[in-house]
Structure 1
Amino acid sequence: MTEDKSHQFERGTDGPKVIVVGIDGSDSSLRAAAYAAGLARRQRALLAVVYVQPVITAGAALGAPVAEATDEIAESLITEIRDAAERVKDIYDVRWEFHTFRGDPYNGLVEAANELTADAVVVGASEQAGHRLIGSVAVRLVKAGRWPVTVVP
């Protein structure tokens, strides 16, 4: 009797292939990145680390160096991520990429998730009190209902 392997369960082949994590340098976003890295490692998925650079606002028109500051934040985050990856490279094998998008955090993460064909999105819980009233990026992503979203406290 020949065994039909076309309907057998394949362990480890299901699950997300691309996990997007939004970071902005806050403690909650860095915890989200650590959590997402663990998911990516276990699922053998690509970890797409995304920083959304704020659009240049009225502050820039008044002479504030907003673009330079956000570029410095992005470079600082890249350095921090590379250093962390180097420290754990012999312990964890995680494939990752760093991406920057411009815009507000919600629309930037939506654009990133679409462009990178994300299977899941991980974000840190908002640390701003006002977001309890008007809604945080995490709540808006969940309400969009386009990807599984994990919110890390």
Structure 2
Amino acid sequence: MVMRIELDDLTRPQVHALLEEHLAHMFELSPPEQVFALDLAKLRVPEISFWTVWDGEQLLGCGALKTLSATHGEIKSMRTPAKMRGNGAGRAVLVHIIATARQRGYQTLSLETGTHPAFEPAHRLYRSQGFQVSGPFGDYLVDPHSAFMQLRLEQADDPA
């Protein structure tokens, strides 16, 4: 498998299908008011960069980076298709997002994810890259369905 990561314009049908899968799964696992996954329209804004991971024409995963301030970014829309899990695409796009955040001069990279047991593989992936449990950031509030994690980039070693 030869993975390539592309800055994506969100126009390909495969990407649309993956994002629809992502949203549907989030609504299965969390109450509707606690689903913070973004749809296509909300991903197509200047403050969000969106990447996809491919092997030839096969979509392996995606992830996004939202600029919150000049020094703070948020990871959004991390997803690997259910049938493609375990191939390293999630790790690859996460490492790419962390490197991009460093290049942009961010000091902090944050994320919100769910607390349902189905999110544990994602929690392990984030911890493996140095993320630590934190409190809410931005407009998020403390909620039993949300887990918050943060990576301090100025102190982090490059795990790649």
State the TM-score, normalized to the length of structure 1.
0.31
Give the greater-gyration-radius structure (CA). Answer: 1
Q: Which has the higher helix share?
A: 1
Higher strand proportion, which one?
Answer: 2
TM-score, normalised via structure 2 length = 0.30
